[in-house]
Structure 1
């Protein structure tokens, strides 16, 4: 496990109850996928971490290159083959007060690895989802530790025996509780534009590159719940879910309950990028 710039055994970890991440959710995080011992799109994840830090006025006390090396060493030290790295930075430890602590308060960085198999059955057969009203704050573009709205949405999906909750503000689909959402209609991919209502997912960025490579036009334009139900294909993406077809939303079956042809092409293009990484 990584605590600030030190690799230590998890049994030696000691975190303060006065950490602002614990008391206020005052921090940011990233999850980086690992394939065959190599971190996928690590540079993009680290860039986004620093952007999130800037947005909440948190200064990470390491350069991007140093942080990248620390995460590389963490993966090596844990001999992680397949799984992910979880990384978070909080504003630090200080007496409880809503206002920022003094400038002498040092941020706290922690990171650890977790082994996990790729969700191949979900990729092959698709998943069911439900619509859930998006009740989150208005800065969803910041990957902050404040995830209670996401947790409540995911729990609704879990209780409905579904994989994911598709969130919406009024009639407009935003994103999943832990994913980005896409619809394909008449050979065009639609997805919510990157603004304060959604997180610009790193896998989302890879998806758009894949679409360009396979010649699938992309329109970054919000669509409604009704339009989602009328799509030829729907899928979600995230670091851990990768490219997962959606075959059902509430009681409506999408594409006869089978992953669509364009979704399959995007999955293949994504897989080629993973293979390129693991061959390096």
Structure 2
């Protein structure tokens, strides 16, 4: 059955949705995006995702075409029109359509596109088996804190992972793990969760923020620092976080088993707490 999508003010069957070939998102990758999870027909931490969208827009001098309240209303309308119970909503904003020229065009309104994707992530079998990760050099630009639609480097990393029987790639730069191709990378030592500091080198993960918000409930402490691939291989546990993976155990890195190749108790507990958080629609604003 055809999905209903949103394109520049109109709700359309996906077969009828079009964007100009001159759109700068298509020509230059001049745009930003967000992905919000939906669980039990509820948006999960959508306010936080839209706050990050606003930050990304500000960093590239892009005027958003809608207010945050209007964007939330569009999300909810797409959930209703597509009877979406579990999945995600992709939102993309580009600088709009204009004849090809590098400087920002004048008098052009931004393009806004949203669509839903039904997918199972709450009870995915991968949560029970864990995922395999491979390492790869980080080839991305210097402003990874901006959620840009320039995703060629992550695409190549994900393809490398798929070709090697893995579900995610951890990118390595200057000897340390930066992040996953589409996730935040974590390791666990004892009762301590370790993930690198926020900077221009990594995306400020919304699920990362949620996990840190319930540290007291989970009984863990947090050490914000870089870690090497070698340290990850020696960790007691490893996991990733993202809007659609939630908290996902990593059981193999470059063919090396983590926690004897099975999800560890820390990751299992964190995922349980996060799922409870998500089913309530999240609490981040």
Per the normalisation by structure 1, the TM-score is 0.96
Q: Which runs of 5+ in 1 are unaligned?
A: none
Which of 276, 280, 283 does residue 276 from structure 1 map onto?
Answer: 280
Q: How much does 1:114 deviate?
A: 1.3
Does the 8 Å CA contact 1:180/1:204 hold for their aligned counterparts?
Answer: yes
Q: 2:148 aligns with which of 144, 150, 171?
A: 144
**1:116 counterpart = 2:119:** yes
How far 1:11 moved relative to its partner?
2.4
Residue 176 (structure 1) shift: 0.4
Question: 1:205 maps to what in 2?
Answer: 209
Instruction: Provide the residue aligned with 1:14 in structure 2.
Output: 18
Alignment match, 2:131:
127
Following the alignment from structure 1 to structure 2, what is the Cα–Cα distance between the partners of residues 70 and 234?
36
Question: Match for 2:33 among 20, 26, 29?
Answer: 29
CA shift, 1:251, in A, is 2.4
CA distance in 2, matches of 1:156, 1:234: 20
Give the SS at the match of 1:248: strand
> What is the Cα deviation at residue 13 of structure 1?
1.4
Cα distance in 2 for residues equivalent to 1:49 and 1:70: 15
Q: Which moved more, 1:184-193 or 1:9-18?
A: 9-18
Supply the distance in 2 between the matched residues of 1:275 and 1:64 (Cα, whole angstroms): 22
Q: Does 1:75 align with 2:79?
A: yes
Matched, 1:4 2:17: no
In the alignment, the residues of structure 2 paired with residue 122 and residue 209 of structure 1 have an alpha-carbon distance, to the nearest angstrom, of 25
Q: Which runs of 4+ in 1 moved over 4 A?
A: none
CA distance in 1 between partners of 2:43 and 2:179 (Å): 25
Per-residue deviation, residues 30-66 of structure 1 (Å, max 9, x unmatched): 1111111111111011111111100010000211111
Q: Deviations 1:236-269 (Å, cap 9, x if unpaired)?
A: 1111111111111112111111111111110111
Contact 1:133 1:170 in 2 (8 A): no
Deviation at 1:151, TM superposition (A): 0.6
Cα contact 1:5–1:70 (8 A) shared by 2: no
TM-align CA RMSD: 1.2
Moved more, 52-61 or 210-219: 210-219
- Partner secondary structure for residue 117 of structure 2: strand
Aligned counterpart for 1:221 among listed residues 219, 225, 247: 225
- 1:105 aligned onto 2:86: no
CA distance in 2, matches of 1:234, 1:227: 11
Q: 2:168 aligns with which of 161, 164, 169?
A: 164
Instruction: Write the distance in 2 (CA, Å) between the matches of 1:86 and 1:251.
Output: 32
Partner of 1:179: 183
Q: 1:242 aligns with which of 243, 246, 253?
A: 246
Q: Which residue number in structure 2 is paired with residue 154 of structure 1?
A: 158
CA distance in 1, matches of 2:137, 2:93: 29
